[in-house]
Structure 1
Amino acid sequence: MVRCWERSQTALEDSSCTDGSPTVSPQFPHKAFWAIVSATLLLVLIALSLTGHLGLSQQHTQSLQVVRITAPDLTGSLVNQSALVDRQNDLVTISVSSQNNHTSTVLFDIKHGVVCYKPDNQETCFLRNMEKSDYENMNSLLLDSTKKESHLLLSGNHTQRQTEFLGVLGGRQVDPSSLEQPFQALCQNSAIYWTRRADGPAKQRLVYFCIDICFPSNICVSVCFYYLPE
């Protein structure tokens, strides 16, 4: 006769097995259970992180809008330029292409109130503080960039043209580390100078270069630079 042992709460009691085989107490597979739970939590965390990353990327992409502006120059030829509007960071980057296929970049940092000019084929950047007219022109771009990409064709008869002269303070080279990140990226490995508005260069001073910028408000500004006497 086969005997089996059953554990009670008070003592071990000797009893007979009904089927003649030992009684086996079932054991829950704890290791398998916790492995499944851990794997499930890991998959949930990965899914949440991917969803958050995609959501932020999509939000940032939606905040970037392109405005393409075509305007006639003084000779009547059409000049193309594009403005990349970053609403999230309050940045407007304007790329101006000249007739000889050279592209200059003008970066408006609306949050910090600074404009940066980066002419093509030059390892130099020029800074100036934004003025009231700059904020008005930026508002015209922000209002027009309601679509992801829009194209404006300015009429030569209704476009107002004006010229601004900026004197370059050659003795005040700027430390790039003191600037905001967008300016550091644009002016990497370039000499950086502050400028100030001036009535115009003296007769003995020649204009260094000019950049023509057009805005949706039918205003085209020719910004001309020259170096001030040391």
Structure 2
Amino acid sequence: MGGSAASPKSYFPQKAFWFSLSASLLLIITVLSVMMHLRVPQPRPQSSQIVRITVPDQTGVLINQSAVVDQKNHLVTFSVTSAANQTSTVLFDMKRGLICYKPAEHQSCFLRQMEKSDYDNVNSLLHQSTDKSQLELSGNDTQRQMEFLGVLATSQVDVSTLEEPLQALCQDRSIHWTRRAEGPGKQRLVYFCIDICFPSNICVSVCFYYLPE
């Protein structure tokens, strides 16, 4: 007799085997596609935000000031334009605990260590959850403070020892350490001041003078 046809018992296991194999291959392809999609770099949102802070000064004139907030690197950079249209820069480096002042009217940069009040003021801008690019402060409720920083002429800093944000800001200038002081006294002259306003309704006028050698 010739060969007999395959029995139903042998046909159905073969059909189930090929169906199971096809489903497994489809599952593997799907998993690999998802993994490849996850590995492709996704565009990240901008970590920097420009915020303009508006507040009238004591004479009623609006202060021209803006801040670049870099949450990823914990940096806040203020740009303050004076009435003479000269722009000074103040960089708050939260990660390293430093403030760097770059006055428009002076060919030097000045460093100082951040204090608790500095962290509190900058945190109000760095960690605020707002999409507003314009912050208007109330002139009547704004607290105004004055700080004096003494500069030692012999305290020049080697720019190569500083991290990138400070190097980029002051690469063309000499850099000096400063320390907080009670005031210059009558025998010393204040060379310049920089006014900075924070969203916490605090404006600080930071004034510099050179200490005796």
Q: TM class, shorter-chain normalised?
A: 0.7 to 0.9
Q: How many angstroms apart in 2 are the aligned matches of 1:123 and 1:179?
A: 18
Q: How many residues are aligned here?
A: 177
1:116 alignment counterpart: 100
Larger Rg: 1
The alpha-carbon deviation at position 179 of structure 1 amounts to: 0.5
Provide TM-score, normalisation by structure 1. 0.73
**Residue matched to 2:208:** 225
Separation (CA, whole Å) in 2 of partners of 1:176 and 1:72 = 36
Q: Tell whether the 8 Å contact from 2:81 to 2:87 is kept in structure 1 after alignment.
A: yes
CA distance in 2, matches of 1:188, 1:143: 29
Work out the CA distance in 2 between the residues paired with 1:117 and 1:76: 25
CA deviation map 1:58-117 (0-9, x unaligned): 34x1x1112110111121101121111101111000101111111100000000000000
2:81 to 97, 101, 108: 97
Corresponding residue for residue 85 of structure 1: 69
Equivalent residue letter for 2:172: N
Alignment of 1:67-86 (within 5 A): 67-86=51-70
How far off its partner does 1:197 sit?
0.2
TM-score by length of 2: 0.79
Counterpart in the other structure of 1:134? 118
Instruction: Indicate conservation of the 8 Å contact 2:79/2:89, yes or no.
Output: yes
After TM superposition, give the deviation of residue 155 of structure 1 in Å. Answer: 1.4
| Offset, 1:153 | 1.2
| Equivalent residues in 2 for 1:79-228, closer than 5 Å | 79-144=63-128, 146-147=130-131, 149-228=132-211
CA distance in 1, matches of 2:141, 2:153: 37
RMSD over aligned CA atoms reads 1.7
SS of residue in 1 equivalent to 2:186: coil
What's the secondary structure of 2:63's corresponding residue?
Answer: strand
Secondary structure of the 1:144 match is coil
Gaps of 5+ in 2: 1-35
Structure 1 segments of 4+ aligned residues over 3 angstroms from their partners? none
Deviations 1:141-192 (A, max 9, x none): 0233532x52111111100001000000111100000111000000012010
Between the aligned residues of both structures, percent identity stands at: 68
Label 1:151 to 1:66 Cα distance change in 2 as closer, same or farther (>3 A): same
Q: Is the 8 A contact 1:67 1:145 kept in 2?
A: no
1:136 counterpart SS class: helix
What amino acid sits opposite 2:178 in the alignment? T
| Aligned partners of 1:85 and 1:145 also within 8 Å | no
- C-alpha contact 2:108 2:173 (8 A) present in aligned 1: yes
Q: SS at the partner of 1:212?
A: strand
For the Cα contact (< 8 Å) 2:80–2:89, is it kept in 1? yes
**Residue segments in structure 1 that go unaligned for 5+ positions in a row:** 1-46
Assess if the C-alpha contact under 8 Å between 1:70 and 1:153 holds in 2. yes
Contact 1:68 1:151 in 2 (8 A): yes
- Separation in 2 of the partners of 1:195 and 1:145? 33
